[in-house]
Amino acid sequence: MSSDYAKNLIAQVKAKNPSEPEFHQAVEEVVESLDVVLQRHPEYRSAKILERMVEPERVIMFRVPWMDDQGEIHINRGFRVQMNSAIGPYKGGLRFHPSVNLGILKFLAFEQVFKNSLTTLPMGGGKGGSDFDPKGKSDNEVMRFCQSFMNELYRHIGPDADVPAGDIGVGGREIGFLFGQYKRLTKEFSGVLTGKGLNWGGSLIRPEATGYGAVYFAQEMLKTRGKGVAGLTFAVSGFGNVAWGAVQKIDELGGKVVTLSGPDGFVYDKDGIKGEKIEYMLKMRASARDSVKDYADEFKVEFHAGKRPWGIKVDVAMPCATQNELDDNDARTLVKNGCICVCEGANMPVTLPGFKVLHEAGILYSPGKASNAGGVATSGLEMTQNSMRLPWSRTEVDQRLHQIMKNIHDTCLQTAERFGMPGNYVAGANIAGFLKVANAMLDQGLV
Ligand code: NDP
Ligand code: 2IT
């Protein structure tokens, strides 16, 4: 039961930020789990730490004009939300998707603050992007858009100030165009973006890192119930960067992934997604057709139009597409079908009522800010390599990523236990992520 303090804070955030339901949702989840911390530690309340944390340090919003291949001019909106820099430069991805708006980016930036704190690396939280729709655009159109986007963004970022990366709709190609324009405008070759190409400052494993990390996290959760990935069946949603990394690692560890999904529906591949089928995921994403049905046509498997994959009987569910893609009805179906673990690869894919169903059923459940932190953690490792001007081997990066995911897992469990909520990964992640940032804010005075 939330305290009056928590209820008032949530009410204030809703009143002050109308029309931002995703931001309200992210704040509500965090404030509910921090209630006990704020009761035990009045110093955070009197210093108004949480009230400060729900207000971005800065929001930059700008016009992005660009010209398509036919010579027609388009105007999109660009954003960068610089949420919190208490423990390091702002760090977080850029999302290009028509659904992007300020509220969505504030929710993502808010989550990023806690996630980055959990990684143990010195990174603050930020997020940005645009309502630009990459679907059906040519490479040249994407390049012109990225250049125009950077023409404004470059004045607000820097290797020690704010380091953007990829997210939905922003992968290696976009990071390349953005980096090229930043370099041209600033005359600097620096580690200002992560997810760079391997021969110009990128890190091995960064493309796979979010998916790999989420599977390492699931592995640790399963261990607490005496289980391993081998022999288990997985439902994965999405077919983008995160889903691809997750499918690869599950396959490598002997698990079987039977679903993928897209905006058009989901595929059910009873034999498991492996080998050339994993390679095909990359082709499907690069085609910019946005259709997972292509996989069903190519490999002659079942396609369920307009549906999500949560009705399939599996041991583990890994939502890896987008926010609010698994609701309370889906959660009930998964539990009824004997699912033992839901591990979030995407950011906030499970709704608040969905989380409550999973929590009450007592199945393993990890919030994205803990289980998908491997992507930004490896971005942090890319920043370290850039500063040293030395690249690490694949094994070195993977071992560090694996260790970071284990640490995050253990920190979540230990913190949840310490605050009287054993086994609650949501509470553990929120509290552990909060404490480090809150203490840094106390140390640094009223900023
Ligand atoms: P990609 O663009 O590579 O893939 C995104 C997938 O989600 C696609 O299948 C996409 O289909 C689908 N999707 C996106 N928006 C929607 C929507 N509104 N409705 C239905 N489906 C949608 O992105 P990523 O794999 O990088 O990101 C997936 C998730 O993981 C996001 O929540 C992201 O924030 C999170 N994440 C990403 C990290 C990274 O390093 N890339 C790190 C940590 C978390 P379509 O766009 O065609 O609708
Ligand atoms: O949501 C995320 O953590 C990301 N999109 C990755 C951010 C990053 O800076 O690598």
Q: Is the CB of 287 under 6 A from ligand 1?
A: no
Look at residue 1 in the predicted model and tell me its pLDDT: 60
pLDDT tier for residue 184 given thresholds of 50, 70 and 90: very high
254 by DSSP, 3-state: which? coil
Asked, for residue 325, whether it belongs to a domain, the answer is: yes
Q: Evaluate whether residue 274 is within a structural domain.
A: yes
Mutate to test the pocket of ligand 1, among 168, 283, 320 (most ligand atoms within 8 A of CB): 168
What residues are labeled active site?
127
Q: Looking only at Cα atoms, what is the longest distance across the chain?
A: 62
Give me the number of domains the chain comprises: 2
Query: Is residue 352 assigned to a domain?
Result: yes
Q: What are the structure tokens assigned to 13, written together?
A: 């955030």
Instruction: Give nearest CA residue, ligand 1 atom 29.
Output: 346
Query: Do 289 and 365 sit in the same domain of this protein?
Result: yes
Distance CA(174)–CA(176), nearest Å, equals 5
Alpha carbon 410 to chain centroid distance?
20
User: What's the pLDDT score for residue 2?
Assistant: 80
Q: Both 229 and 331 in a single domain?
A: yes
Same domain, 180 and 214: no
Q: How far apart are CA 261 and CA 296, in angstroms?
A: 11
| pLDDT, average across residues 187-216 | 97
Instruction: Output the pTM of the full model.
Output: 0.97
Does 254 share its domain with 131?
A: no
Does residue 286 share a domain with residue 140? Answer: no
- CA of 194: how far to CAs of 49, 70, 115, 200, 306, in Å? 30, 32, 17, 11, 34
Separation of 321 CA from ligand 1 center, angstroms? Answer: 4
- 383 Cβ contact partners less than 8 Å away, ≥ 6 residues apart: 123, 159, 163, 191, 194
| Predicted pLDDT of residue 302 | 97
Q: Using the 3D structure, point to which of 162, 191, 220 is the last residue of a domain.
A: 191
Question: Are 124 and 250 members of one domain?
Answer: no
- Ligand 2 contact via 211 beta carbon (within 6 Å): no
| Residue ranges making up the domain that contains 334 | 209-371
CATH number of the domain residue 303 falls in: 3.40.50.720
Does one domain contain both 139 and 82? yes
- The answer on 102 and 158 residing in a single domain is yes
Q: Does 92 sit in the ligand 2 pocket, CB within 6 Å?
A: yes
* In a domain? residue 339: yes
Read off the pLDDT band of 277 (50, 70, 90).
Answer: very high
238 vs 368: CA distance, rounded Å: 15
pLDDT digits (tens, 9 = 90+) for 366-379: 999 999 999 999 99
Q: Which of 196, 210, 344 to mutate to test the pocket of ligand 2 (most atoms within 8 A of CB)?
A: 210
Residue 197, token pair as written in the block: 């190409």
Judge whether 438 lies within some domain.
no
User: How far is ligand 1, taken at its centre, from the CA of residue 36, in Å?
Assistant: 33
Boundary of a domain, candidates 135, 160, 191 = 191
Say if residue 115's pLDDT is above 80.
Answer: yes
Same-domain check for residues 144 and 237? no
pLDDT at 424 over 80: yes
What would the DSSP string read from start to end of 46-101?
Answer: HTTHHHHHTS-SEEEEEEEEEE-TTS-EEEEEEEEEEEE-SSSSEEEEEEE-TT--
Q: 160: domain CATH number? A: 3.40.50.10860
347 pocket-lining for ligand 1 (C-beta < 6 Å): yes
Contact between 269 and 258 (Cβ < 8 Å) = yes
- In this structure, are 71 and 184 located in the same domain? yes
C-beta atoms surrounding 443 within 10 Å: 8
- Answer yes or no: is 378 within a domain: no
Q: For residues 242 and 253, give the distance between their C-alpha atoms in angstroms, rounded to a whole number.
A: 17
Tens digits of residue pLDDT in 211-223: 999 999 999 999 9
84 and 156 together in one domain: yes
Q: Does residue 52 fall inside a structural domain?
A: no
The answer to whether residue 35 sits within a structural domain is no
Report which bound ligand comes closest to the CA of 119: 2
pLDDT tens per residue across span 42-57? 999 999 999 999 999 9
- My answer on whether 157 and 230 are in the same domain is no
Domain boundary among 356, 371, 386: 371
